[in-house]
Amino acid sequence: MTVTPTLITDLRELIAEEIPSGGTEADTRFSNARLTVRLEAAYSIEEAAAECWDIKAGKFQAEIGKFKSVGSGQEAAQWYSPQEQLEYCQKMARMYREKSEGRSFGVAVAAVQVIDDLDY
């Protein structure tokens, strides 16, 4: 697959890793170089997205404390558990893997009869 800046931006959207306004790729979990490697190894952008979601699952497990909800009156905060983060990433990886499999390429091979009694 030929990787272009637009393709990298599209992949960032699929994996929820857009570069923030005024930010750089360093403000995300994936550098453009890492995304380029994933895209070059993939048959489709969906396959690359599935791989990235698998990687994100591992990164989420290493990160601590994502907000699930925040209140202001009683200062209540609820965090996403590492298990919830992992399950979300795995769900996204499955979704893009299934999309990728729908676009996979195959080769059909048919048997050919060989005629060996030709008169020249």
Q: What is the end-to-end Cα distance of the chain in Å, rounded?
A: 47
The answer to whether the beta carbons of residues 93 and 54 sit under 8 Å apart is yes
Q: Inform me whether the pLDDT recorded for 114 exceeds 70.
A: no
Can you read off the two tokens belonging to residue 71? Answer: 């209140």
pTM of the model: 0.62
C-alpha dist (Å) from residue 1 to 10, 57, 62, 105: 14, 25, 31, 13
Of 48, 66, 61, 47, the closest CA to residue 89 belongs to: 61
For 15-48, how does the pLDDT look when each residue is reduced to its tens digit (9 = 90+)? 999 999 999 999 999 999 999 999 999 999 999 9
